[in-house]
A and B are shown apart, each in its own frame.
Chain A
Amino acid sequence: MNDILLKVEDLHTYFYTYEGVVKAVDGVSFDIKKGEIFGLVGETGCGKSVTALSIIGLIDEPGKIVGGKIIFKGKNLLEMSEEEKRKIRGKEISMIFQEPMTALNPVYTIGDQIIELLLLHEEGIANIKKAPKELKKEKRKKAIEMLRLVRMPDPERTIDSYPHELSGGMRQRAMIAMMLATNPSLLIADEPTTALDVTVQAQILKILTDMRDKLGVSILLITHDLSVIAEVTDRVGVMYAGNIVEIADTFTIFQNPKHPYTVGLMEAIPKITEKKEELRQIRGSVPNLIYPPPGCRFHPRCDYAKPICKKEKPKLIEIEPGHFVACHLYGGEANE
């Protein structure tokens, strides 16, 4: 079990709004191994991003982590002080976001933003203006190296560019270069390619897998796009309405999905080789997370729902080595 980098156990993150408590993440468990690309897939609003923000500790009010453990390198992040977490953020655990257009600060150059991070975590200097010149030069060299590593065109020049002078793909590269500059063990990528053109998407995904191969960084890749999952991830967790319903290696998820929701997702992918009159879809819609359905949250939309599904929440159980499903269809057999 030594190769496990991050272990999320029974995580509960709730948002206390005027309308009520939104149970955005309600008992999520999974783990990420060293050097692995773990995909978290699900519809919009299923709690993927909240899970990611909980891990890096950026849940803002009115959100709150109300239960569970996030064990990173053997230590529970939720028991750490804000100061300790801040030292891990950006150094051990980094994150890149969906919108490269807005994720970089428009008033500073790419270089300044990377150098700032390097100075903070390697020298303990939070204010870039107070850093000695030679030190900045040294960090600048490293920043250029990082930009080259993510195949940024003309890094010596790009480093002095402002974000608005770069294209979306180049900005996302700059983000990746920045967030990997401190050589973190875990990179959380929250829909890193959603806002980009398809060709650029492929380049960014290639860069992410390259970085894993070269730097050994584990990646938590969050997406709603199954083709992205198929392309780069090693293992996948499928999320539905704040729960993880299935975890398996990517091949198994696509070839042998077990949970009715995962099965529905797979069937909803249009295939060019099949002739179908109509695109298959999962009936119904995503539940309201203030008043989620009791028992299994998927039961109102499930074709195989049994009476127990309405009463009892299914546990995530291992039905074959490395393949976990939270569904009474399988849990029942295991219990017998």
Chain B
Amino acid sequence: MKLWQYVVRRLIMLIPVVIGVTLITFTISHVIPANPARAWAGQKAPEEVVKRIAEKYHLNDPLYVQYYYYLAGLVKGDWGYSHSEHRPVIACLADYFPATFELTLWAMMIAIPLGIYLGVVSAVKRNKVPDHLSRVFALSGVSMPIFWLGLLLILVFYTYLGIFPASGRGIAPSHTYTGLYILDSILSLDFHALVDDVWHIILPSITLSYATLAVITRMTRSSMLEVLRLDYIKTAKAKGLPDRVVIYRHALRNAMIPTLTVSGLAFAGLLGGAVLTETIFSWPGMGRYAYHAISTLDFPAIMGVTFLMAVIFVIANLIVDILYAYLDPRIKLGE
């Protein structure tokens, strides 16, 4: 099977998954015993207004009719009206998603290479000082609460040292192409914005990356230890290859599969779940938006965020599966 055939097939399989997701989110947001029309209109709004809102959004219709309207809207690009923001959900997502995506991208760019490197060093220098250091580092990463780390970084680097800013995304670049500030500022040659944006993303991306970094380090270490005992490593050494080739070319590629799985899941997870980091650093992303939507019973927004998340997870898994086949020729796609 060719790669593109596999991708197309997987994308088609995405449809039932997505329908399932809409079904679940729709049901969950409608079993909550609260009157959304009242919530959107406000506590003091006259009964008449509440009624009209309920009518306009089909809140009085049977659930399956409401679901039909929801699905139809989803396909047409009308994801509903976000009442907490007073604008369409899709417009909110278009604003917030790039912010989260950019933050996640940076966090993963820190976590993946550094995590793999630390894991490899740890495995190669097993039970020696570098291993102990990296294990302590990783253990503190998985056990340290993310908000605590965020606050600590702010305290040190913003309050005491005043090196990095502590909130927001920085200056918006002069042109918007992708919604990713740093990429856009490079594309529009706006170096003033570039410096400011890079400065702003450093602390939140470190905060966000630490837990993932720790997991990747531990995963890489254990799978490297596994691989380094195997016969083909002995063969590689018997060939007279330098250690660095034995470790990075012969061992690491075989040890990458578990690391890849973790990285893929973490990437998808961070895209939707950076609530704490985004809140601490006032980062205008999806996590903050979702949190806000939940607390104001903004159903269309909740459904929109959940839907997008589900799609991201499925796509992340697809990418991981394709990378598996690239890394290990024994894995055949679609069989």
Contacts and interface: CB of A to CB of B under 8 A. Distances in A.
Interface of A: 56, 58, 86-91, 94-95, 97, 99, 102-107, 109, 116-117, 120-121, 126-128, 162, 164, 175, 178-179
B81 to A, nearest CB: 51
A158 to B, nearest CB: 15
Contacts of A95: 238
B51 interface: no
Contact of B235 (A104, A109, A127): A104
Given A88-B240, A102-B232, A107-B329, 20 more contacts: A58-B237, A86-B240, A86-B241, A86-B242, A89-B238, A89-B239, A90-B241, A94-B238, A99-B231, A102-B231, A105-B235, A105-B254, A106-B330, A117-B240, A120-B239, A120-B241, A126-B245, A175-B235, A178-B239, A179-B238
Contacts of A103: 231-232, 234-235
Contacts of A91: 240
A47 B328 CA distance: 35
A103 B238 CA distance: 11
Given A58-B234, A105-B254, A107-B254, A90 B329 contact: no
A126 to B, nearest CB: 5
B237 to A, nearest CB: 6
B330 A162 contact: yes
A121 B31 CA distance: 71
30 contacts: A56-B238, A86-B242, A89-B240, A90-B241, A91-B240, A94-B238, A95-B238, A97-B231, A102-B230, A102-B232, A103-B234, A104-B235, A105-B236, A105-B250, A106-B232, A106-B254, A106-B330, A107-B254, A116-B239, A116-B241, A117-B239, A120-B239, A120-B240, A120-B241, A121-B240, A127-B249, A162-B330, A164-B330, A178-B239, A179-B238
Contacts of B250: 105
B253 interface: yes
A50 to B, nearest CB: 13
Nearest to B245: A126
B240 A87 contact: yes
Interface of B: 230-232, 234-242, 245, 249-250, 253-254, 327-330
B298 to A, nearest CB: 48
A178 B236 CA distance: 11
Closest 6 pairs (CB-CB, A-B): A90-B240, A89-B240, A90-B239, A102-B231, A105-B232, A95-B238
Contacts of A127: 245, 249
A86 B239 CA distance: 8
Contact of A89 (B237, B245, B249, B327): B237
A85 to B, nearest CB: 8
Contacts of B238: 56, 58, 89-90, 94-95, 179
B114 to A, nearest CB: 23
A118 to B, nearest CB: 10
